[in-house]
Structure 1
Amino acid sequence: MKEIVMICGGVYGALAVIFGAFGAHGLKKLVHPELLKSFETGVKYQMYHALMLILVGVIFPVSGYSQNLMAWFFMLGTFFFSFSIYGLVLSSAKGSKMAFLGPVTPLGGLLLVMAWVLFTVNIIGGNSSIPF
């Protein structure tokens, strides 16, 4: 599972760079500045959590229920949060907003909050390779 977590972090990081460049150069002319700001929020959160996934893979063995759940919450939360924003912005730019994606964004945010809580619990519980 550790390798999957780190690969996912690498893929999310690469995609965040690609989507960031697309937002800065391609979307700027197509969408309202407020929508562009939303898109940039998706990119920022995707990159933050891509780095976090790599960090999780470095400091945890990613074994056991709590660490696996944390990893899945980071992976799915990032996907639901950022990619739903991308879908909402791009569909709005085309004039047919995919409103069903609206509730997906806060679900992704909730999963990310739960992942951070589990991260903290695992650090406090001494389940990492960080010497305290």
Structure 2
Amino acid sequence: MKKFRKVVMVVMVAMMAMAALAGCGGKDSTPEIVGTWSVSELEASGVSISVEEYAKQLGQGEDAIKMDLTCKEDKSFSMDMAGQKTEGTWKEKDGKFVLTVDGEDQEVSITDGKLVLEEATSGMKMTMKKK
């Protein structure tokens, strides 16, 4: 019986050590916002249009209205909107993300793999997909 207890104790100690080590050294998961996002759809006054269709209506190529957002793990981001570039920082807050440029905040949400940036005063909405 003593031998059985000794075996059980050894197994339990080994399991506890494995459980403790499983939590060590692992990196936190990368936030969903990290990566490069490209605008795929625009919406204004309840009317949605794809970037491709919008470019066609303007008689422009898609590159003329290209809009990309690149968020890095160091909590910085850069945005290129048709050649106009800006940089800022991002943070996670209440399950959403906040982009900050020159002290001004813009909240964005990610749902079903799509990042949505909505401008509150105009009601304009941009939907972005990860590249």
Is TM > 0.5 for Structure 1 vs Structure 2?
no
TM-score by length of 1: 0.27
Which protein has the larger Cα radius of gyration, Structure 1 or Structure 2?
A: 2
Larger relative contact order (CA 8 Å, sep ≥ 6): 1
